[in-house]
Amino acid sequence: MRTVIAGGHGQIALHLERLLADRGHAPVGLIRNPAQADDLRAAGAEPVVRDLESATVEEVAAVLAGADAAVFAAGAGPGSGSDRKDTVDRAAAVLFADAAEAAGVRRFVVVSSMGADREPAPGTDPVFAAYLRAKGAADADISARKGLDWTVLRPGALTDRPATGQVLLAPSTGRGSVPRADVAAVIAALLDAPETAGLTLELIAGNALVEQAVRQLVR
């Protein structure tokens, strides 16, 4: 399976690239900075330089051509302002979805955020509020498309703890945290479960093995 991952140098993406490569798949990571290419190669992924804030749909579709799946795992990252939350977390996700449709890649997984489905509470940090609104707008755009077999994944608070392999994955989970490595494992399992297309799912640490958690969704 050839999977193109936007945000290919992010922590979740690097975990995912290692998982996919270890399973004999062919991950491709989109990066902005050519200096990151060796990190992707070390993870078993093919690096491709494409800046989703400036690339055209056609340029990104050229990378996606022939792929089996696409994963949007990009984000403006800490330290960025409200404007970049919109240009990366919303606009880049929409462009990546446009490119997937143009390339005929139907399977599409979005890494969103818990809380993206509602207006941020009063008093929320303005930049974080902009992030949640951007994620929510991207989710709404992608989930309305008929040309994609999309799954939206909304993790809780992300941690750098080692993978546990145990999660709670459901349309609604309540608040909680989850290791980035477990998020990557869930994405890999979702890619292997096309029956999860059309679902928006929350994810936190839990007691179910990843594969079991995904199977429970499609019974």
pLDDT at 78: 80
| Token representation of residue 50 | 């494409």
From 27, 131, 139, 191, active-site residue: 131
Q: What is the torsion angle, in degrees rounded to the nearest 10, for the CA atoms of residue 69, residue 146, residue 60 and residue 155?
A: -60
* Distances, alpha carbon 59 to alpha carbons 63, 88, 169, 200, in Å: 7, 17, 34, 28
Contact yes or no for 149/198 (Cβ under 8 A): yes
Q: Is 131 a catalytic residue?
A: yes
List the beta bridge partners of residue 95. none
From first to last of the 219 residues of the chain, give the pLDDT tens digit: 999 999 999 999 999 999 999 999 999 999 999 999 999 999 999 999 999 999 999 999 999 999 999 999 999 888 889 999 999 999 999 999 999 999 999 999 999 999 999 999 999 999 999 999 999 999 999 999 999 999 999 999 999 999 999 999 999 999 999 999 999 999 999 999 999 999 999 999 999 999 999 999 987
Q: Cα(122)–Cα(137) distance, rounded to whole angstroms?
A: 19
Domain 2-217 bears CATH identifier 3.40.50.720:
yes
Domain ranges of the chain: 2-217
| Token representation of residue 73 | 């795992």
- This prediction has a pTM of 0.96
Nearest to 166, CA basis, from 207, 124, 196: 207
